[in-house]
Amino acid sequence: MRYIRDLFLSYRFFAALILIAVIFVVGFAINVFFLVGQVLLMLLTAICVLEIVILFAPKKPIKAKRKVPNPLSLGDDNPVRLEVLNNYAFNVSITVFDNPPVQLQLRDLHFKSTLQPDKSVSFTYNIRPTERGAFQFGDLYVYASTFTHFVQRKLVVKQEESVATYPSILQMKQYELKVFAKTALSGIKKIRRLGHNNEFEQIKNYVQGDDFRTVNWKATSRRNELMVNQYQDERAQHIYSIIDKSRSMRMPFNDLTLLDYAINSTLAFSNICLRKGDRAGLMTFSDKLGSKLAAERSSKQLQRIIELLYKQKTRFLEGNFETLYQGVRNHIKGRSLVMLYTNIESEYALKRILPLLKRINQLHVLVVVFFENTEVAKAAQMETVYVQDIYQKTFAEKYGMDKKKIALELRKNGIQTVLTKPENLTVNTINKYLELKARGVI
């Protein structure tokens, strides 16, 4: 019964069977063709029986396994690799069907190849998760055939596994390399330190661009060449990321929500802060105060941040900034840098929350990070053909100008601001942090 269940006849078999049937029909008129049809039918039956025997004789003729990054990175291309080994003593043609998670909606994902005895082949494809959570992979299905390919054997390889999708760890590592690289890389600004409120690090040779006020005259006289003091950023400063989980952060861009962009950015940003020697903390809010993680610089802090970010979900209510202000007063001790990820859609919304943002800015260094609407920006650049296009372009330009007015109003009130496209959120946030560190604002 198992062999019958795993036995499949290919389209080639049915094509040969139809040809033999035609020969039999003609054979009713011409006896020679009737005999030819009988011979071909017996030959087809013999070939099929032979292939069934040699395909089903071995118990484990094909070995296959799947290699998936664990955990998966949200919003990134994650490579999935399938490896197949042929244990048959002859060449086989294989078709491998994978069962990716239902969230990805990848249907009919299959690969074909021909394998020699004791040889293996690998197939690679990429998946891009667009939501956090558990992703369930199913078994692998391998269809093997040989010689005439009239018969196929179905093999089920047990490869069920559940893989969690976490905030983008790949992005976190990429930006870590960019920030700490000795040469400037795309996106990250190499900002010269300003001021002298940082910690002394070492004495080094003067190079063009160094501040003359850092010249060490004693070392210069001893070495008979110009020497300067080098300073490093002041360490152990408190850095908090606050994420708005209200319904305004549910807006989608490129299959990810603004909340997902903020979560990915927070992870990369927090990792940079910890690597810089600062203390990284986290807080979320919507209509009420959410998760809280005190700023620390321990070796386990990054893992705590990852686990906390993994669990965050959008609440479909308005953000309560009064609750946020009380939470900041009660839970953030000492002057800190506060990166607030939110989405301010209108000047009216800004007027409603501006007094509370000013209070937070009096207690800490507040940076408001909010988003440009890229779809509206595209509409503002379109060419107009009809009257309707003119209306749409006008409204899009007004909306884009309102966003710039919001950023200007925040800056007028002494609040640091980052207005960014979602795809540039991480690099702009890190650059703002590096700028504030260089200026000695924190």
Q: Is residue 342 part of a domain?
A: yes
Q: Is residue 217 part of a domain?
A: no
Q: Is residue 204 part of a domain?
A: no
- Three-state secondary structure call for residue 314: coil
Point out the domain boundary residue: 131, 166, 201: 166
Q: Is residue 202 part of a domain?
A: no
* Three-state SS letters, 71-125: CEECCCCEEEEEEEEECCCCCEEEEEECCCCHHHCCCCCEEEEEECCCCEEEEEE
Q: Is residue 21 part of a domain?
A: yes
Domain count of the chain?
A: 2
Same structural domain for residues 144 and 256? no
Range(s) of the domain holding residue 17: 1-166
pLDDT-flagged residues of the chain (< 70): 1-5, 29, 31-32, 182-201, 209, 231-235, 380
Same structural domain for residues 152 and 243? no
- pLDDT value of residue 42: 86
- pLDDT value of residue 38: 79
Q: Is residue 218 part of a domain?
A: no
Same structural domain for residues 262 and 358? yes
Same structural domain for residues 103 and 239? no
- pLDDT value of residue 235: 61
Residues 6+ apart with CB under 8 A from 229: 200, 202, 203, 214, 215, 216
Same structural domain for residues 269 and 136? no
Distance between CA atoms of residues 39 and 45, nearest Å: 10
Percent of the chain exceeding pLDDT 70 equals 91
Q: How many CA atoms within 13 Å lie on the side-chain side of 433?
A: 32
| Cα distances (Å, whole numbers) of residue 148 to 65, 93, 142, 151 | 27, 10, 18, 8
Same structural domain for residues 245 and 139? no
Same structural domain for residues 311 and 434? yes
Segment (H or E) for 381: none
pLDDT digits (tens, 9 = 90+) for 384-402: 777 777 777 777 777 778 8
**Cα radius of gyration rounded to whole Å, the chain:** 32
Same structural domain for residues 352 and 246? yes
Same structural domain for residues 263 and 404? yes
Q: Is residue 9 part of a domain?
A: yes
Point out the domain boundary residue: 134, 166, 198: 166
Q: Which amino acid is at 414?
A: G
Same structural domain for residues 267 and 142? no
Same structural domain for residues 241 and 375? yes
Question: For residues 409 and 347, is the Cβ–Cβ distance under 8 A?
Answer: yes
CATH number of the domain bearing residue 378: 3.40.50.410
Q: Is residue 375 part of a domain?
A: yes
Distance between CA atoms of residues 428 and 421, nearest Å: 9
CATH number of the domain bearing residue 66: 2.60.40.10
- pLDDT value of residue 187: 62
Same structural domain for residues 391 and 275? yes
